[in-house]
Amino acid sequence: MDNTGMVELRANTRLREHLYEQAVTKSEFCDVTLEFGPPNKMKQMGAHWCVLVHCPYFEYMYRFFGNKQDTVRVYDEQIEAIDTAIKFLYTGKASFEIDTVEDVLSIGQFFQMSELLDSCASYLANLRRCEHNCIKIFFIARHFKLPMYEDIVTYIITNLISVIEYSPNGRKITGTVIKELIGHKSACTIRPFVLRNFCRKWRNYDEHNRHREYLDLMALLTNLTTLSCVSNTVITDVKTLEVLMVITNKPRSIYAYVVEEDRWKFVTKLPSALSQSSFWRDETTLLAVDPNGESVFALKNDYTKSYATNNISVRIHKYDLNSESWSEHNPSFVFNDSNIIQMQVNRVMCLNGKLHLVITTLNVISKPKRIMLLTWKEETGTFTKSFLFRFNPRSTVLEDVNSCILNNNDICVVCSVKRYSEREIKLVVQDVKSKEVKLLRPVSKEVYDGKACKLLTFPNNDDVCIATLDSPWYTIVNVNTGTLVHNNDWLFKEPKQALSKQMGRFISGNFEKSVFVLDSESNRGFQFYYGSKTWYRIPTLEYKVGSGAIVQATLPSTMLHKLSDTLKCECKLLELL
């Protein structure tokens, strides 16, 4: 019998353990120093690049910085979890405990160590379950989308009463979790009175704060004819997730806030052409997301006509979310008006497989002349133009332009203009298929008060909601009938108290029945849901957000789960002599 394979395995294991011993003792044979932990309590050990690069996280760092750094720092509170991950990277072995495995999973996800994640998942799957650990396992499996999620849910549903009678579980479980459990397919086998008893016991842990949710749960259980219908009405298989995408100034990158996960994720760095800003004009970078969740488009907002050709060339950068690569397109078009020398892109949207740009054309003294809609056909590399608004440059000051997509067919553009002592807000709705203007009408006219006007718009079925963050009114316009309802009430009163008074610092994005507002100076953000008239605070991104518009979209959950959280690594570079 040939035992060569076994000998090679033992030799490989000894080599791994020997290298790990060198790392722990900071041997002279280590070629990089690894520091990790909180800033004031960092642990230091030696490391070998030849081992570290087996981890995608460190491989990326090495490819980016080469051998120019001698120290790598990872800032994270979980020192023991990082220590476990490094030991696993060297030896392929690690020991786990129920109280620390979640931290190890988090670090493994951050380092993109798939084998470590699989080992943690295997440990949890083989762990003997009981009422003392099942809820903790449930939350871990749910958060990290582990394969054994279905099994642990089935265990909890099968043992509802014993699970809820263990008091730590009763305090941890939320109303949302109960709905998720009821919506699971295995709940169809549970008798209704067991579910109601479970809900009563859950309420009794905090009767004052849980009573309203308890009534909702009881009404849900009472109204159901069969529990199987809950899977269709309460919770469904999540295939897409709502995200808010922004561009940060330093680093020049795209980040996405995943609403359902309440966290920011790093998407990609901007290409070098978008990382260089102009010193003599105010340039921003705008984003658009393909509704199919396959591509992200980025482009600058300011363009000047070529004196040689009279063309305006627009550089469009397209990021493929599947291949994780950028491509560049340079379509151009001609303005017949010789007085137009510049154009500004106000908004960018994707609809029906095409990229739509809401632009303002400027004359020789940078005064607005028209607002137009440019539609870019990628397959032909050409633009088509539609005129939306015309202005008299001598008497008009364009304050703001906003837009939204309605019913996946119409583009609504709203502008605020100042003429002498009056401010007027106008709305135009265009059918993108027929290129016909469905509606063109004024929204409001008021005396100019000297304050900046920052428009906010979002779709609501067949209506467009138009408001400003600084005015006690909002307007609902039906795009089919043209009916306008003006409401003298604050729509955005609550978040304004926590945001800046300077309107120029706000950037916004919109989605169906939803709008997002961000103070670009403080990075404080809120998301507003029109149906419930409620505001939700958005976690602050650690990097400063640029002044371009925010994009709200839905992306495939499978793609989002591959993205890493915001970077926490710092590399110390050697000074070049």
Please check whether residues 263 and 115 belong to one and the same domain.
Answer: no
Rounded distance between C-alpha atoms, residue 286 and residue 297, angstroms: 8
CA distance 541 to 527: 14
Q: Measured between alpha carbons, how far is 186 from 153 in angstroms, rounded to an integer? A: 8
CA dist 500 and 498 (Å) reads 7
- pLDDT class of 426 with cuts at 50, 70, 90: very high
CATH number for 509: 2.120.10.80
Given 99, 127, 155, which residue is the final one in a domain?
Answer: 127
Q: Pick the residue with more confidence: 326 or 303?
A: 326
Final residue of a structural domain among 237, 268, 299: 237
- Residue 389 near residue 415, CB atoms below 8 Å: yes
Residue 278, pLDDT above cutoff 60: no
Rounded-to-integer distance, Cα 538 and Cα 344, Å: 30
In whole angstroms, give the CA distance from residue 124 to residue 147: 10
What pLDDT score was predicted for residue 433?
86
3-state secondary structure (DSSP) of residue 330: coil
Contact of 141 with 118, CB cutoff 8 Å: no
Q: Ranked by mean pLDDT, which of 219-223, 276-280, 481-485 comes out on top?
A: 481-485
Q: By 3-state DSSP, what share of the chain in percent is helix, strand and coil, each rounded to 5?
A: 30, 35, 35
**How far is C-alpha 323 from the geometric centre of its chain's CA atoms?**
19
281-305 residue pLDDT tens: 457 889 999 888 889 999 988 888 7
- Its sign, for the CA torsion 276, 278, 282, 287, is negative
Domain that holds residue 193: 140-237
21 in the same domain as 170? no
**Which are the contacts of 236, defined by CB distance < 8 A and separation ≥ 6?**
183
Q: Report the candidate in 398, 475, 410 with the shortest Cα–Cα distance to residue 437.
A: 410
Average pLDDT, the chain: 81
pLDDT at residue 232 in the model: 34
Burial class (CB in 10 A: 0-12, 13-18, 19+), 337: exposed
What does the pLDDT read at residue 260? 64
Listing DSSP states for 290-312 in one string gives -TTSSEEEEEESEEE--TTT-EE
Same domain, yes or no, for 252 and 375? yes
HSE-CB for 358 with a 13 A CA cutoff? 27
pLDDT of residue 261: 60
DSSP tag of 34:
E
CA distance 120 to 130: 18
Q: What is the pLDDT of residues 134-166, one digit of tens each?
A: 999 999 999 999 999 999 998 898 788 888 989
Residue at 573 is within a domain: no
Considering only 12-21, 365-374, 402-411, 525-534, which range has the smallest mean pLDDT? 525-534
Whether the CB-CB separation of 499 and 449 falls below 8 Å is answered with no
* The pLDDT of residue 5: 41
pLDDT of residue 173: 95
In a domain, 122, yes or no: yes
Output 434 or 505, whichever has higher pLDDT: 434
The amino acid at residue 139 is F
Start-to-end C-alpha separation, the chain: 59
107 and 162 belong to one structural domain: no
Confidence bin at 279 (pLDDT 50/70/90): very low
In a domain, 135, yes or no: no
Q: pLDDT (tens digit, 9 = 90+) per residue, 379-393?
A: 888 888 888 998 888
Distance, in Å, from the CA atom of 92 to the CA atom of 15, rounded to the nearest integer, reads 12
Please give the torsion angle defined by the CA atoms of residues 335, 337, 342 and 346, in that order, rounded to the nearest 10 degrees: -70
56 domain-assigned? yes
The answer to whether position 182 is within a domain reads: yes
The rounded distance, in Å, linking the Cα atoms of 506 and 520 is 6
Instruction: Give CA 252 to chain center in angstroms.
Output: 16
Q: Say if 571 falls within a structural domain.
A: no
Same domain as 275, residue 212: no
How far is the C-alpha of 439 from the C-alpha of 479, rounded, in Å?
A: 6
- pLDDT score at 495: 57
Please indicate, yes or no, whether residues 61 and 210 belong to a single structural domain of this protein.
Answer: no
Asked if 147 and 247 sit in the same domain, the reply is no
Is the alpha carbon torsion for 71, 75, 80, 84 positive or negative? negative
- What token pair was written down for 505? 């610092």
411 domain residue, yes or no: yes
Contact 521, 512 (CB under 8 A): no
Q: Are residues 23 and 93 in the same domain?
A: yes
Other CB atoms within 10 A of residue 242 CB = 16
Give the C-alpha separation, 49 to 67, whole Å: 9
Q: List phi, psi (to 5°) of 348.
A: -130, 135
pLDDT digits (tens, 9 = 90+) for 118-129: 999 999 999 988
Number of domains in the chain: 3
What is the CB neighbour count within 10 angstroms for residue 182?
23
The CATH number that applies at residue 48 is 3.30.710.10
What confidence tens digit (pLDDT) does each residue in 513-556 have?
A: 788 888 777 677 777 777 767 676 676 677 888 877 688 888 88
**8 A C-beta contact, residue 183 and residue 235:** yes
> pLDDT-based confidence at 414, cuts 50/70/90?
very high
Examine the fold and report which residue of 95, 127, 159 is the final residue of a domain before the chain moves on.
127
**Cis previous bond, 38, omega within 30:** no
Token couple for 553: 């979209």
In a domain, 574, yes or no: no
Does residue 474 share a domain with residue 331? yes
| pLDDT tens-digit readout, 31-81 | 888 888 888 888 888 888 888 888 888 888 888 776 667 888 888 888 899
pLDDT (tens digit per residue) in 475-500: 999 988 889 988 888 776 655 555 55
Cβ neighbours for 25, distance < 8 A, ≥ 6 positions apart = 46
263/353 same-domain check: yes
Same domain, 414 and 503: yes
**With 50 as the cut, is the pLDDT of residue 101 above it?**
yes
User: What residues does 375 pair with on adjacent strands?
Assistant: 356, 384
The CA distance from 240 to 516, in Å, is 19
- Please name the residues in contact with 371: beta carbons below 8 A apart, sequence gap of 6 or more: 346, 358, 359, 360, 388, 389, 391, 398, 401, 413, 415
Q: Which residue has the higher pLDDT, 533 or 95?
A: 95
Distance CA 315, CA 271 (A): 12
Q: What digits encode the pLDDT tens for the residues 223-254? A: 653 443 333 333 334 577 788 888 888 788 99
Percent of the chain with pLDDT over 90: 25
Residue 288 pairs in a beta bridge with: 297
Please give the pLDDT value at position 566: 57
Token pair recorded at residue 364: 């020789």
Q: Are residues 220 and 352 in the same domain?
A: no
